[in-house]
Structure 1
Amino acid sequence: MAFRIVTIPFDNERGVFPDNGLNNFLLDKKVKSYRVEFFIHVGRPYWSVFLEYEEIEDRSVEKLT
């Protein structure tokens, strides 16, 4: 079992929390559990995601760019 913490800052120009990096990371993973937290640091909003996951054996999935 592996763990990862991903913290995503809010993109003020686009008005979103960009999730491409998180989605790309999860393409070949099976999430066992997760916990999501929202916080503000120095006036900037963030989402932080704690992931417990397993690697998927099938490596035929292409990564997003």
Structure 2
Amino acid sequence: MVPVETPCDLSTDTGRLAAQVEALLDPQETEGVFHDSPECNSLLLTAGAVLLSPPTPRPKKG
């Protein structure tokens, strides 16, 4: 197999690349606040209500 020479252009815009990397590493949410917090809160309240609800009555034997 013969290697094919491809033109190598190393003059990429490093400032643009650095800005893209920083944007990927920088979270969009503020510290400790996430977009799905209301959804998690509602699921937690529903799970708590199910766990704290009284058990279903059982039929009496006899």
TM-score tier by shorter-chain length is: under 0.3
Structure with the larger RCO, 1 or 2 (CA within 8 Å, 6+ apart): 1
Structure with the larger helix share:
2
Greater strand content: 1
Q: Give the TM-score normalised by the residue count of structure 2.
A: 0.23
Instruction: Provide the TM-score with structure 1 as the length reference.
Output: 0.23
